């Protein structure tokens, strides 16, 4: 869920209404939007925030799903997913 601020200078990304903010885009004086230190168009800022929401939602365990023990080794797929998430968010 992407929400604009009241003054229109920020966009915030949330997994659900009332949930914590997971990503922010701020409008710069030159009209570009800043997302994680990168300037981009409004359209691309929206795409970047939507990607952050998608990645965050996909990495959440399903409701009621059992979780592995704290010391369980990560699988190759899990490590690759984490690396891709870091690239998208940065």
Residue spans per domain, the chain: 2-60+84-89
User: Mind listing the pLDDT tens digit of every residue in the chain (90 residues)?
Assistant: 899 999 999 999 998 888 889 999 999 999 999 998 899 999 999 999 999 999 998 887 776 555 555 555 555 555 555 555 556 655
Handedness of CA 77, 2, 43, 34 (dihedral sign): negative
pTM of the shown model: 0.64
């Amino acid at each position: 869920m992407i929400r604009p601020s009241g003054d229109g200078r920020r966009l915030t990304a949330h997994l659900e209404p009332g949930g914590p903010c997971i990503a922010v885009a701020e409008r710069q004086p030159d009209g570009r939007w800043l997302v994680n230190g990168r300037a981009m168009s409004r359209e691309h800022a929206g795409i970047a925030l939507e990607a952050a929401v998608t990645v965050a939602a996909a990495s959440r365990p399903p409701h009621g799903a059992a979780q592995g023990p704290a010391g369980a080794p990560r699988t190759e797929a899990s490590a690759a997913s984490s690396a891709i998430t870091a690239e998208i968010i940065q």
